[in-house]
A and B are shown apart, each in its own frame.
Chain A
Amino acid sequence: MSDLMSTGWFRVLVALTVPVLWGVGTAWFFERLNARRAALKAAQRDVHQGGA
């Protein structure tokens, strides 16, 4: 295992995986967060319009 971790190709695999996972993961998170916020705003608007 330690032999594998010390090879250049293992470092390449980690160097490629971490930024890609971080980039895609955060984009996915903020996409969902923004969608939830938009849905919440729409629901609040509907409540206000319904009450008027």
Chain B
Amino acid sequence: MSWFSPATYLGALAIGLGIGALTGMFGVGGGFLVTPLLNVLLGVPMPLAVGTGLLQVLGTTSSGIYLRRKSGLIDLKLAVTLFGGSTVGVWLGTATLNGLKGAAEVKVRGNPVAAADLYTLIIYVIMLIGIAAYMLYDTSRTAPPEGERSPFARIRIPPFACYDSLPGNALSIPALSYFGLILGFLTGLLGVGGGVVLLPALVYLAGMRTHAAAATSLVMVWFSSVIAVVGHTLGGNTRLDLAIPLLVGGTVGVQLGVAIADRTRAAQLKRYFAWVVVLAVVVVATKLLNMIW
């Protein structure tokens, strides 16, 4: 194993600190920012950035589950249903990334570019634009009223199951499993925990209360990242030496973020977060344009 330069480890510590602060302020894992930032700012090859980012997601979610263990908000049955599809999705995503890693370089305007870096960055830009647009839209939106049938409850593909966190709504198990499959694919391919997609989906598509959705998505993301870490470690895509500064920086950052969040209004926080994601889009898109121009 060859070591990275000291600057790379310091950079990882700084990224961990920044992402930890975001986690403390906004309550999101930030896995969707770690991977592109490792690649764009520190030049870590995309497959390694994905695997190492997942180690950070695993640490953050373990911490979150420990803190919420007595809250009674975790719907384990729903998390396990989603996890069923997610297992297949993680495997597909990991296999796709390993396939891209082994693929020949792509020629863009005569310049050779690593296929894994190019395709994953393109998907990242699309996903980050979607997340930023959603966050900006969400600042002016309220959760659907209780008792209203959620979009997930309108899908009538049997068999159905009732969940404690969703009283009165019998949800289609295949629909939840396929949704889990998509989330798992994103986890395996991009190294994102999936919480950033799952949390709004549970609130707006399944009609779940925000706190229960946050606790449940943590468990589901933890399960998916465990499977993804196994696949990526066996594929040689994880670097613990790079994950440790991310984890250490993250721990300090969370404490800073919580202190900042205590002094800021919730609506203001949401708007700040949307602009952080917009900034990430600009950084990743600039790298992509440099690559293909």
Residue B120 at the A interface, CB < 8 A? no
Pick from A9, A15, A24, A28: contact of B55, CB below 8 A. Answer: A15
Cα distance A11–B231 when bound, in Å? 11
Smallest CB gap from A9: residue in B: B234
Known: A19-B59, A27-B66. 8 other contacts (CB 8 A): A11-B234, A15-B55, A15-B240, A16-B58, A19-B58, A22-B247, A26-B251, A28-B66
Q: Which residues of A contact B (CB under 8 A)?
A: 8-9, 11-12, 14-16, 18-20, 22-24, 26-28, 30-31
Q: Which residues of B contact A (CB under 8 A)?
A: 55-56, 58-64, 66-67, 226, 229-230, 233-234, 238, 240, 243-244, 247, 251, 255
Cβ–Cβ < 8 Å partners of B238 in chain A: 11, 15
| Contact yes or no, B244 A18, CB < 8 A | yes
Cβ–Cβ < 8 Å partners of A26 in chain B: 63, 251
Cα distance A28–B64 when bound, in Å? 11
Cα distance A29–B251 when bound, in Å? 11
Pick from B56, B66, B67, B230: contact of A19, CB below 8 A. Answer: B56
Jot down 13 A-B pairs with beta carbons below 8 A, ordered by A.
A9-B234, A12-B234, A15-B55, A15-B233, A19-B55, A19-B62, A23-B59, A23-B60, A24-B62, A27-B64, A27-B66, A30-B255, A31-B66
Interface of B is mostly: helix
Asked whether A19 and B233 contact (CB < 8 A) given A24-B62, A27-B66, the answer is: no
A-B CB contacts (within 8 Å), total count: 62
Cβ–Cβ < 8 Å partners of A11 in chain B: 233-234, 238
| Contact yes or no, B240 A14, CB < 8 A | yes
Cα distance A5–B255 when bound, in Å? 35
Cα distance A31–B226 when bound, in Å? 24
Cβ–Cβ < 8 Å partners of A15 in chain B: 55, 229, 233, 238, 240
Cβ–Cβ < 8 Å partners of A22 in chain B: 59, 62, 247, 251
| Contact yes or no, A19 B234, CB < 8 A | no
| Contact yes or no, A20 B59, CB < 8 A | yes
The 8 A-B pairs with the shortest beta carbon distances in the complex, nearest first, are: A23-B62, A19-B59, A23-B63, A23-B59, A27-B63, A19-B58, A27-B66, A15-B233
